[in-house]
Structure 1
Amino acid sequence: MQTTTDTLAFNSGYAEVNGLNMYYEVYGQGKPIVLIHGGGSTIQSNFAKLIPLLAKNRQVIAMELQAHGRTSDRDADSSFEQDADDVAALLKNLGIDKADFLGFSNGGTTTLQIAIRHPELVDKMILGSALAKRNGVPEWFWDFMKQATLENMPIQLQEAYKQVAPDTGGLQVMHDRDAKRMVDFKDIPDEQLKAIKGPALVIIGDKDVITPEHAIELSRKLVSAELAIIPGGHGAYIGEITTITPDFTDSDMVVPMIEKFLNKKAK
């Protein structure tokens, strides 16, 4: 289905993916870049500000993962490995053999799993506030996740879900799946990280939930990585909905840095 929003045309649809009815959107033309959202999010809540800028020069492919937004749930816990397999299946369905990837937050962790499990799909990857080790966030984070309730979920994310979900009753399911996945999170082994060969750009905010130490460590574990620590909170550098302030402008985003990284020729 073709839709136009704010003069930006895109195609959207659903694909049968590993037992899910997965929603996706495709914008623009050019080399594909795949956007993978974070926990509790939709395409728009993470990437509404970013997509129009990237789509000027690229084909942008974004999807909603298990139980998120317009995508159905399956009778199984969420996992980053399963999300990676779901994205890989969607890209096969769409005829995409290789792409660049930009994953934010949980989506960054999923992007790492795609590079580990489906390396043939990945050219370059941008890892926005991605978690690879449990020590990459403050200790309070894990206690918070164990006690997580829907009432504590950012209201902007709740509203974004309700705007698009066919059944808003799924909000609790999405919340619980995401919380359990974080409680159960296990470190990605160093040998798996070191086996990732493609170029990577690791980005966090200086007031991010991800610690600078973790971002530095991750960038050093990857064979070919650059690191950027940007002023701001978790996702402010891409205009994520919970971080936007009234004085936000497109120039607050790191799009020039992303495009420079993506366009850099291999040595």
Structure 2
Amino acid sequence: MKTGYAPVNGLNMYYEIHGEGNMPLVLIHGGGSTIITCFSKLLPLLAKDRKVIAMELQAHGRTNDRDAPESFMQDMADVVGLLKYLGVEKADFCGFSNGGTTTLHIAIHHPELVNKIVVMSANYRRDGMPDGMLEGMKYATIKDMPAPLQQGYLDVTPSQTGLQTMFEKDRDRMVNFKDMDDAEISSIKAKALIMAADQDVVKVDHLLNLHRLIAGSTFVVLPGVHGAFIGEACTTGSYGRSPEAAAILISDFLN
């Protein structure tokens, strides 16, 4: 494994590179996450036969914050900036939850960088989330943030102030979530694998519609709650061998 920090759009962005291969796979974590809390189970499985690049986005994990709100468009620009820094001209992208939304933006706005995409449990419109959830998030406090994600942040950056900042910026990004147009989604030409859990936070019908909008895409539903099929930290003890199954599906799709 290689680790480092890249100067990207005013950030000192932490990244890791695992494995070897010609077409790298870029992993983009979900809100409130680190590389470890999101991908510790899935990443080593994927890195067995390919190069995997993972990063921590603005205010997450070991990456610093800047005096600007979080947004999916800014996350997109930061991921693209990291790849430019690393000299990567084309890659596969795999994003979970908020990271999946960022992956969609990359496929729409930077198709020249994209080989294939994997979108896991990500909404592209507000109505893809449970009714009233995004509106209610404006009243959320740090006490509502799952304990494994809080501890995961503190494990790599022991700062309560940093944790609070990450929580508030993640919360505000979702409160202010802006729908993506169906026409934007339909413009995606990259081969796409859409993955969902049967008890996901994101509505399965919403992800099915995402699949229908992206021509030629593949749709897979695996058992469990949000994050279970990748072994995300909040689902410890409930995912069984699902990460292995997910890794096989992703690897077969990318190969």
Residue 235 of structure 2 aligns to a residue in which SS? Answer: coil
Residue 161 of structure 1 aligns to a residue in which SS? Answer: helix
2:159 and 2:134 mapped to 1: Cα distance? 29
Q: Is the 1:161–1:168 contact (alpha carbons within 8 Å) kept by the matching residues of 2?
A: no
Deviation (angstroms), 1:252: 5.3
1:251 and 1:103 mapped to 2: Cα distance? 15
The correspondence of residues 1-267 of structure 1 with structure 2, limited to 5 A, is 10-30=1-21, 31-165=23-157, 167-245=159-237, 248-249=240-241, 253-263=245-255
Residue 13 of structure 1 aligns to a residue in which SS? Answer: strand
1:210 and 1:33 mapped to 2: Cα distance? 24
Describe the shift of the 1:168–1:14 C-alpha distance in structure 2 as closer, same or farther (beyond 3 A). farther
Q: Is the 1:33–1:60 contact (alpha carbons within 8 Å) kept by the matching residues of 2?
A: yes
2:235 and 2:250 mapped to 1: Cα distance? 19
Deviation (angstroms), 1:251: 5.8
Length, aligned pairs only: 254
Deviation (angstroms), 1:246: 6.4
**Structure 1 range deviating more: 145-154 or 99-108:** 145-154
1:101 and 1:120 mapped to 2: Cα distance? 13
Query: CA deviation digits over 1:150-184, x for unaligned, max 9?
Result: 00100000000000016342001000000000010
Describe the shift of the 1:251–1:145 C-alpha distance in structure 2 as closer, same or farther (beyond 3 A). closer
TM-score (norm 1): 0.92
Q: Tell me what 1:4 maps to.
A: none
Runs of at least 5 residues in structure 1 that lack an aligned partner in the other structure: 1-9
Q: Is the 2:228–2:242 contact (alpha carbons within 8 Å) kept by the matching residues of 1?
A: no
**Structure 1 range deviating more: 216-225 or 59-68:** 216-225
Q: Is the 2:197–2:224 contact (alpha carbons within 8 Å) kept by the matching residues of 1?
A: yes
Q: Is the 1:49–1:250 contact (alpha carbons within 8 Å) kept by the matching residues of 2?
A: no
Give the ranges of 4+ consecutive aligned residues of structure 1 lying more than 6 Å apart after TM superposition: none
Q: Percent of aligned positions with the same letter in both sequences?
A: 53
Q: Which of the pair is proportionally richer in helix?
A: 2
Residue 169 of structure 1 aligns to a residue in which SS? Answer: helix
2:209 and 2:243 mapped to 1: Cα distance? 28
